[in-house]
Amino acid sequence: MSDLCHRRETCRLCGSRKLTLAFKLTPTPPANAFVAEDKLNVAQVCFPLDLFFCEDCAHVQLLDVVDPKALFEDYVYVSGTSPVFVAHFKDYAADILERFNPPKDGLPEENLVVDIGSNDGTLLKFFKESGMRVLGVDPAKEIARRACQDGVETITGFFTPDMATRIAKEKGRAAIITANNVFAHIDDLTSGSC
**How many angstroms separate the CA atoms of 170 and 172, rounded?**
6
Q: For residue range 110-132, what is the model confidence (pLDDT) as tens digits?
A: 789 999 999 999 999 999 999 99
4-61 confidence digits (pLDDT tens): 899 999 998 899 999 999 999 999 888 777 788 888 898 888 999 999 999 999 999 9
- Bridge partners (DSSP) of residue 23 are 51
| pLDDT mean over 97-109 | 78
Element (H, E) at 56: none
Q: Give domain limits for the chain.
A: 5-66, 79-185
Q: Given this model, what pLDDT does residue 11 score?
A: 94
What distance in Å separates the CA atoms of residue 39 and residue 42, rounded to the nearest whole number? Answer: 5
Q: Which fold has domain 79-185?
A: Rossmann fold (3.40.50)
Q: Write down the pLDDT at residue 102.
A: 86
Mean pLDDT of 158-167: 94
Whole-number pLDDT of residue 56: 98
What is the average per-residue pLDDT within 76-94? Answer: 93
Q: Do residues 118 and 148 lie in contact, with contact meaning Cβ atoms separated by under 8 Å?
A: no
Pick 71 or 162 by higher pLDDT. Answer: 162
**pTM of the complete model:** 0.84
Whether 164 and 193 have beta carbons less than 8 Å apart is answered as: no
Q: What is the DSSP letter of 185?
A: G
The closest of 160, 150, 78 to 118, measured between CA atoms, is 78
